[in-house]
Structure 1
Amino acid sequence: MAGSHDEKVQRKKTKEEEDRRGTVINFQRYLHGGTSSLLSTLPTLIVFPVYKTIFRQQIHNTVIHQAVRQLYKEGPLKLYRGVAPPLVMRTLNGTLLFGLQDTVLQHLSLTSQNIIPAAALPAVAGFFTGIVEAVVFTPFERVQNVLQNSRNDQNVPSLKSVLVRLKGQGMALGFYRALLPITARNALGSSLYFGLKEPIRAVVAGQGFSALTSSFISGTVISMATSLTLFPLSVLVANMQAQVGGEGKGAVACWKILLKSRQQSVIHLYRGGSLVVLRSCITWGITTAIYDRQEKKQTS
């Protein structure tokens, strides 16, 4: 009897230790996600002019050299107008994206056995994470797009004036403008990223590349493919959010207007798409490599 009692006590202690380790791992994955995104802040600063060039192409339907000439005329002081929201978003986004995806994944692993195939769980967890991500970060993206639109320089010249103006419009037309297309873009994007990250990394590693290089290539390839696939949604979001005021048309009506302004041309709709590839290669490649490196150190 004594032996049986001791075994029960030992099993209880072991379970408690496993629970504590699980909690630490989950917390550390939030931390690792935030750290990897924070360390990619410098590349974000470097490529911000590229991002702004893409934005101008999306809004004004111009080719690259016209967008660059427009930014050049505005001068260096206005070049980084609107950089604060993406910098904050990068750090918070990584924290939420990697940490919450892992938390949801752990929950699904326990509650969805024999319902969802194990191989599909990372993608499903990424999908739900993308929905939460959209709710949290849509206001940041809204402020960023208003600040980057040069047509708003006179009416809302500062971050404070933008916040006051959007607050006065109410949540739906103000800070949460274009929530539906952002949710669709983020949910699909996160699902693809987490669903494909490990399989692609394993394939690349099988070709003899180092773990760090494999993670970088995996993040780059997935982000490039995802960005190009979902680029039309990003164009729609930019056009819906760039203006302050107006009628506040829905996503479907705005999509019809956007297509009409692009002469129903897919090529015109994808203006700026080539620069998305460059931005994805720099930011998500680095972020993925740093995150996987931290995870490897933690488990080793």
Structure 2
Amino acid sequence: SAHPNHSITMVRTEDEEPHRSDPVARFRSYLHGGTSSLLSTLPTIIVFPVYKTVFRQQIHNTLVSQTVSQLYKEGPVKLYRGVAPPLLMRTLNGTLLFGLQDTLLHQLSSSPPSIIPTSALPALAGLGAGVVEAVVFTPFERVQNVLQNGQNDRQLPTLRSVLIRLRSERLASGYYRAFLPIAARNALGSCLYFGLKGPMCAAVEGQGLSTTASSFLSGTLTSMAISLPLYPLSVLVANMQAQVEGEVHGLRSCWRMLWESRQRSVVLLYRGGSLVILRSCITWGITTAIYDKQERSASDFSL
């Protein structure tokens, strides 16, 4: 017989509570989040050149053809310089993001009734998970951006040299450079992802698609809706974190310098945005489909 799709609606009913309060069930969300992200690392490797192309556009404000030519001249070895941090971060990110959001959602759902609508709880839990995610992963992103900046190749040729250099700096200018825009981006992004994923999946599934296809499309469309409005924050973060030399400027000063360097043009600020959508469609579509399938299988087994 049919049963509610718990992983998609993300709303807990009274019948579910004994199951969801089980410590094993709580751990399962972390496991499924990590597994789904780990399995999506192959697309991450495949699209990494796309990601690196976008990154170079973000910090150098160049056309795609110019960036591709630059990367081609550097060779295949340097093309994948900086791929290790996002692979590690991707797996750990899924574990923390999905697991913590599920834990926070359980806490919010089991607390006394409040003025917050039940339908808004997944987004609220996602907001909290996004803030924690920023605290944990800002150092990973900082290392990744330093490695991907070709201007750092000579003075910081290895991962070890980058780690030593950042460790010698104060946290705010070293590992936690650009923490505030990262926290804002991740918190808003997670809030929107978990808030929109369920309704989006229900709408797509209502068109007659299979459950897995609906999960994939919901992840794709949701990530697309998130990537565009938050893209300027990613550009700001890339520009703030890519440099290790020179004067350290504050957030407002960095934004002003970025805006001036883009000739006060929104079009130039969004240069590379189409490639971000492509990357998000691939990785988050697959991750969402795998995670939801694991959750459905676990729910079917427990029932």
In 2, distance between residues paired with 1:274 and 1:220? 14
Q: Describe the superposition over 1:241-264 as per-residue Cα deviations: whole angstroms up to 9, x where unpaired.
A: 000032221111100000000000
SS of the equivalent of 2:263 reads coil
Residue in 1 aligned with 2:188?
188
SS of the equivalent of 2:264 reads coil
Matched, 1:256 2:253: no
TM-score normalised per structure 1: 0.93
In 2, distance between residues paired with 1:122 and 1:289? 18
Residue in 1 aligned with 2:110?
110
Residue in 1 aligned with 2:49?
49
SS of the equivalent of 1:171 reads coil
In 1, distance between residues paired with 2:21 and 2:192? 28
Deviation (angstroms), 1:22: 2.4
Residue in 2 aligned with 1:244?
244
In 2, distance between residues paired with 1:101 and 1:109? 12
Deviation (angstroms), 1:30: 0.3
In 2, distance between residues paired with 1:131 and 1:240? 19
SS of the equivalent of 2:22 reads helix
Q: Is the 8 A contact 2:215 2:285 kept in 1?
A: yes
Deviation (angstroms), 1:37: 0.1
Residue in 2 aligned with 1:92?
92
In 2, distance between residues paired with 1:113 and 1:44? 41
TM-score normalised per structure 2: 0.92
Q: Describe the superposition over 1:22-49 as per-residue Cα deviations: whole angstroms up to 9, x where unpaired.
A: 2111100100000000000100000000
Q: 1:132-171, aligned counterparts within 5 Å?
A: 132-171=132-171
Letter in 2 for 1:95: T
Richer in helix (by share) = 1
Deviation (angstroms), 1:19: 7.0
Letter in 2 for 1:76: P
Q: How many corresponding residue pairs?
A: 285
Q: Describe the superposition over 1:103-155 as per-residue Cα deviations: whole angstroms up to 9, x where unpaired.
A: 00111112252221100000000001000000000000000000000000011
Matched, 1:40 2:40: yes
Structure 1 runs, 4 residues or longer, greater than 4 Å off = none
Q: Describe the superposition over 1:61-88 as per-residue Cα deviations: whole angstroms up to 9, x where unpaired.
A: 0111111011001001100000000000
SS of the equivalent of 2:70 reads helix
Residue in 2 aligned with 1:12?
none
Unmatched segments (≥5 aa) in structure 1 = 1-16
Residue in 2 aligned with 1:129?
129
Change (3 A) 1:112 1:74: farther
Letter in 1 for 2:29: R
In 2, distance between residues paired with 1:196 and 1:144? 29
Q: Describe the superposition over 1:174-232 as per-residue Cα deviations: whole angstroms up to 9, x where unpaired.
A: 00000000000000000000000010000000000000000000000010110111000
Higher gyration radius (CA): 1
Q: Is the 8 A contact 2:20 2:26 kept in 1?
A: no
Note the aligned Cα RMSD (angstroms). Answer: 1.4
